[in-house]
Amino acid sequence: MDWDASPLPDSSGRTVVITGANAGVGYFTAEQLAGAGARVVLGCRDPERAEAAVSAIRRRVPSARVEALPLDVTDRRSIDAAADALLAYERVDALVLNAGIVHPPRTRQTDEYGNELVLSTNVLGHFRLVARSLAALQQTPGSRIVTLGSLASRLGRVRVDDLQLERSYTAWRAYAGSKIAAQVFGFELDRRLRAAGADVQSIVVHPGYSTSGRTPGIRGVNQPSRLKRFADNLQAAWTQGKDAGAHVPVRAVLDPTISGGDYLGPALWTKGAPVHAPATRASRSPRLGAALWPLFERAAAQPFRL
């Protein structure tokens, strides 16, 4: 079905939590949902950037109900504290797993627990957060978990025997592999939720090729240089702004016709209106999901029980 991003359906009474929402697609997802009336919680690592994002949303959406929640998805203490905060909310209608590293380091780095940093940020922290806060979503009828994947999932593979890239690290393998793993998590999570009879849906999305140079400038949130704008506008035929990329997760949160296990992306692959899209066979593989799940549990030090 067609989806009109403006106006959005009234979302008053809903609470949506978005990780990494101080910039990029996460910020615009938050702004658009706040404009629709939802209470929006920005889970952010840097308090100054979080406050800048909150202030920007309040400037641009005077009626916004928006707040920040400290969350560093590479720090188990921070994840656990954020999960405890979510469990105290009266309702959590959607949890958008957006935080991530887009530009990985050239050489392999690890978090304080020894996990490869890109995998830790893009997958493992979210795995632990969902496992520890799932009860908050289960007490809210029709709640959703939305995982941000990537078109990069079509250009790489995940190594089950070297998930942490101890033997084969490159920046590209780290990014592509983490995004494949994130999508595998999202689809496997939905299978497990359904098997358990849970009233929570897991949806996977990708925002296409969304660049900061084609995104509206917002003080403290998106301030690309003139050179960045010039370079990104040379790619206008196949790119879009991050505000347009946010239409995909926003639809996943709000559209009642979307179901658990759906995969959404831009209509023209890299840009365009949010539509149902085909995910890779690996992302949807129950066999790969079953193989990676215990590896996620071990690396995140978090059993996942439904």
Query: Known catalytic residues?
Result: 175
* Cβ proximity of 207 and 152 under 8 Å: no
117: its two tokens: 């940093």
Give the span between the Cα atoms of 105 and 89, in whole angstroms: 36
How would you label 125-157 residue by residue, b for 16+ Cβ within 10 Å and e otherwise? Answer: bbbbbbbbbbebbbebeebbbbbbbbbbbbebe
Give the span between the Cα atoms of 200 and 242, in whole angstroms: 27
